[in-house]
Structures are given as structure tokens and as C-alpha cells.
Amino acid sequence: MPAIAIIGAQWGDEGKGKATDLLGSRVDHVVKFNGGNNAGHTVVIDMPDGTSEKYALHLLPSGILSPNCTPVIGNGVVVDVEVLFQELDALSARGVDVSKLKISANAHVIPSYNKAVDKVTERFLGSRRLGTTGRGIGPTYADKMNRIGIRVQDLFDESILRKKVEGALDLKGQVLTKIYNRRAPAVDEIVEELLAYVERLAPMVCDTGLFLNQRLDDGDIVLLEAGQATLLDVDHGTYPFVTSSSCTAAGACTGSGIPPMRLDQVVGIVKAYTTRVGEGPFPTELFDDHGAHLSKVGAEFGVTTGRARRCGWYDAVIARYAARVNGVTDFVLTKLDVLTGFDQVPVCVAYDVGGVRHDEMPVNQSDFHHAVPIYEYLPGWWEDISECRTFEELPANARAYVEAVEAMSGARISVVGVGPSRAATIVRHELV
Ligand code: GDP
Ligand code: IMO
Ligand code: MG
């Protein structure tokens, strides 16, 4: 039975949390396969009394809010154990059942020295900084590749854990003291920190790859929820201004242990305009009143760090690139409501780089830094569309915008978002 991946098609914050929640009642398991608590996924749940409840998920998959779903943290994730229990406790306090969570024994943990290295590296880089979330993500993935990482399973054998921490600190301790002039933590301190939650952790830990493949054999539906997005992917993103994990559809397989042939559907989440948090190139970025309008109406502030998100027009070159890299079968176009109130809505269809037209992402990073958008101007609309529930109810120009963007972006737009809540959704083609 099917495995479905949800991926971000831009630089993150496209509305993956809402999309996951939308499918939550129809899938059996939701897997986070990459990243860690650098993510911030918002889910707004309508209550029977007409109010709504808002949740911000960081380390946990958004599917934890869907009562019939088993939430899974896959092997591709990096886990800050303290944050894990803070998030679980906060959800429990709000009445969410978190008892079904499963965590891969092969996921890596984020020791506190990697949070220190992340922050101090950014300071050290000065104007060349990436604008990371400071959660220790990059250094922990670097340790994984460098084969000095600590895995969840290591926490269950203190003598092995101690040896691994000693090995890691042999290097990281020197980096902290000799390069960054910071205090290196003692081995005991780190061992104690990592063991603090081990009893609570034990019942959740298993071979999640085995579990997920067996459930697929049983006919269950597995949803793989990405953190971050295509342009932040360590291989396919705007390197070095990226995160350190594989956020794309292929990463859904390596990060979960589900083989590629079992993935039937790839749902790309794309905002009707573009945002980016942190440093790095962004061709359609706006520095004018239009950008300020998108920021204000779209409430574009990061869920994790509270930083203002940079805003710009829709970039169809990027969407096509995301469709290609991920094999997107369906797009969910989010936040169309935020585009209400413009006479014209520009859409970037190609780039001009030094007088040369680029219809695809330039392969050279400097070219991308110098890419000037070539815009097509689509007629805008002024009607409030937040109550529209069918495609036909949308004003003609909003429909034309969706159809034009669809024709440029390399896959059908199956769902359109017109507000943050689950109900504020127009389904053109059912996803599951
Ligand atoms: P994620 O990281 O991809 O899950 O996205 P975030 O949660 O960081 O950011 C998306 C924001 O947009 C959240 O505040 C959502 O509640 C909100 N949102 C999602 N879909 C829509 C939509 O269609 N319209 C509006 N106005 N807001 C939306
Ligand atoms: P969601 O899942 C937007 C950005 C950071 C920084 C870069 C590297 O909510 O879409 P890191 O701490 O990962 O090493 O930072 O990646 N970044 C995100 N931007 N949404 C996210 O997650 C992000 N996670 C990381 O701002 O530019
Ligand atoms: Mg987010």
C-alpha cells in the first residue's frame, strides 16, 4: 500500500504542517524523516464550539495531532532529547495523546556541545553566516557523516555511550577551546545530560524501518512529512545557504528506511508567493511596500526563531525545479488568500543573468545570486476568498492565477489553501 511524501517546494514554511494535518485522518502513520527542532510546523484545528486551537510542532511530526495516526521519528532525524520531552509534555498538557510515538534507534541525538558549536560558528563567520536556527543541526549531521555521532541506541549502554562521547569530545572539545576559545564540556557532563531521559525514552525506541515496511505490507498508508524544503536541501538547495539534511523526496526514503519503489505519491507544498528565513540568494525578494504587505497579511514570522521572513513573488523556476527534483505528483498551493488586494500579481517565469535568459535554475551559484526575475504580470483580485470552498467560488482572476501557475510549475495543483484552518481549503483532486 502507498507511502506518500509531503515536501516543501521553496525555502520552507510553505504550510507542510497544515497539509499533513489535512491528510492526518486518512493515513495510518506519519513519519518525520529529516531535520530536527529547526522546523516549525503550524497546525490550526477547528473546535466544535467554533474556536480554534493552534499548535506549533518542531521536532515531532505534525501527525501526532491526528488521533488515529502513529507518529514516527525516522532514522534521518536529529533528536534533541530535552526538546523532545518538552514538546511531548506540552502536548500532553493540552490533552493530546502522545503515547504512540515511535523513535528510530538509528536517529542521531544532538548533544549540547553541538548547539554551542552551531552558535559560535555563526558568530565566527560574521558576514558569511548562514542564519541557522542555532539548534545544533549542522554540527550534528556533520558528526554523523564524520562517524563521530551519537545515536539514540547508544543511550542504552552507558559504557558504549561514554566511549562515544569521549571520542567525539576528543575532537569537538579541541574545536571549542582552541578555535573558538570556549569551554569544552566534560565527558561526565554530556553522558549525564544524554542519560537524563533514558527511562522515558526506552519504550518509544524501535526499528522504525522494519515497523513501517511491515505496516505497508499490511495495507496501511504511511505519510512522510519533510522538515525544511527543496531549496534548503543539502544536495539540491542553494548551497551553502541550506540546512544539513536531505529534505527532498529521496531523503524521505533514506530517512525512513522505506525503499523508493514504495513511494507512490509526492505532494509538493508551495506558497502562492515566496518566503525565506536566514541568509542566501532569493531572486524574487521584495524590499518595497508589496513585500511589507505580504509579510503583514501572511503573518510571515518564523515559528521557531520568531525572525521576520523575507518575502517575494512566486517563482515558477523554483517550483519547476522542485517538481523535477522530487517527482512532485501534486502541488498544494497555500496562502492564496494573502494575494488578495493587488492590481497585478507578478510571477517569475525565468531569470536574466547578465543578459542571458535562464528558464531553469542556473547551475552556477554566482549566477543564481545575480539572477534577475523575468516577470509575467497576472491580473489581481480584491474579493475576500477566505470563505471559498470550491474552485468555482473563487473570483475569475484568482482561478486564472492558479491555472497559470499550474501550467508553469510542472505538476497539477490539487489543493488550494485560502486560510490557516483545516476548513479553509479547496480540494480540486483528492490526495489520498
Ligand atoms: P511549515 O513549516 O511548512 O509547516 O509552515 P509554517 O507553519 O512554518 O508556516 C505556514 C503558516 O501559514 C502557518 O502560520 C500556517 O497556519 C499558515 N497557513 C497555512 N496555509 C495557509 C493558507 O492557505 N492561508 C493562510 N492565510 N495561512 C496559511
Ligand atoms: P520548516 O520545516 C524555514 C533555515 C534557517 C537557515 C538554514 C540553516 O518550518 O519549513 P539550520 O538551523 O537548519 O542549520 O539552518 O535553514 N531553516 C528553515 N527555514 N523553515 C524551516 O523549517 C527551516 N529550518 C531551517 O533559517 O537559513
Ligand atoms: Mg515552518
Question: Which ligand lies nearest the alpha carbon of 300?
Answer: 1
Q: Whole-angstrom Cα distance, residue 421 to residue 404?
A: 25
Question: Is there an atom of ligand 1 within 6 Å of 71 CB?
Answer: no
Q: Are strands 412-417 and 425-427 parallel, antiparallel or unpaired?
A: antiparallel
Residue bearing the CA closest to ligand 1, atom 10: 15
**Residues 349/408, Cβ–Cβ less than 8 Å:** yes
Tell me which amino acid residue 289 is: D
Nearest ligand to residue 39 Cα: 2
Going through 201-278 in order, the beta strands assigned E by DSSP cover 205-206, 222-225, 263-271, 274-276
The alpha carbon of 425 and the centre of ligand 1 are apart by a number of angstroms equal to 12
Q: How far is the CA of 309 from the centre of ligand 3 (A)?
A: 10
Owner of C-alpha cell 495523546 = 97
Cα 223 from chain centre = 14
Q: Determine if ligand 2 sits within 6 Å of the CB of residue 236.
A: no
State whether residue 45 is helix, strand or coil. Answer: strand
Return d(Cα 32, Cα 124) in angstroms, integer: 31
Same fold, 3-102+207-427 and 108-203: no
388 lines ligand 2 (CB under 6 A): no
Q: Is the CB of 15 under 6 A from ligand 1?
A: yes
Domain ranges, ordered by start, for the chain: 3-102+207-427, 108-203
Q: Measured from the CA of 417, which atom of ligand 1 is nearest? A: 23
Residue 54, strand partner residues: 44
Q: Ligand 2 in contact with 225 (CB < 6 A)? A: no
Residue 349: predicted pLDDT: 98
Q: Contact 368/362 with Cβ under 8 angstroms?
A: yes
Span from the CA of 212 to the centroid of ligand 2 (angstroms):
27
DSSP label at residue 360: S
509526492: which residue's cell?
A: 266
Ligand 2 touching residue 138 (CB < 6 A): yes
402-414: string of b/e by CB count within 10 Å (b at 16+)? bebbbebbbbebb
**Residue nearest ligand 1's atom 27 by CA:** 420
Q: Counting runs of H as helices and runs of E as strands, what totals does the chain give?
A: 13, 20
Cβ(309) – ligand 1 distance below 6 Å: no
Ligand 3 (single-atom ion) residues, CB below 5 Å: 13, 40, 303
Segment-wise mean pLDDT, segments of 10 residues, the chain, 432 residues: 93 98 96 98 92 96 96 98 98 97 98 97 94 98 98 98 98 95 97 97 98 98 98 98 98 98 97 97 98 97 93 98 98 98 98 98 96 98 98 98 98 98 96 94
One-letter amino acid for residue 385 of the chain: I
CATH code: domain 3-102+207-427 is: 3.90.170.10
Radius of gyration of the chain (CA): 22
Determine the Cα–Cα distance for residues 277 and 307; give it in Å rounded to an integer.
7
Check if 300 has its Cβ closer than 6 Å to any atom of ligand 1: no
Ligand 1 atom closest to Cα of 338? 26
Positions annotated as catalytic residues are: 13, 41
Q: If we measure between CA atoms, which residue out of 375, 331, 338, 298 comes closest to residue 10? A: 331
Taking the centre of ligand 1 as the mean of its atom positions, its distance from the CA of residue 311, in whole angstroms, is 14
- Kindly state the helix (H) or strand (E) to which residue 311 belongs, with its residue range: strand 310-312
pTM of the model: 0.98
Contact yes or no for 365/238 (Cβ under 8 A) = yes
SS3 132: coil
Residue 1's pLDDT is 61
Its CATH class, for the domain covering 108-203, is mainly alpha
Q: CA geometry: angle at 230 spanning 78 and 67, to 5°?
A: 55
Output the CA torsion 252→254→260→264 (10° steps).
Answer: -20
Mutate to test the pocket of ligand 1, among 6, 10, 18 (most ligand atoms within 8 A of CB): 18
Which atom number of ligand 2 is nearest to the Cα of residue 118? Answer: 14
Distance CA 303, CA 336 (A): 20
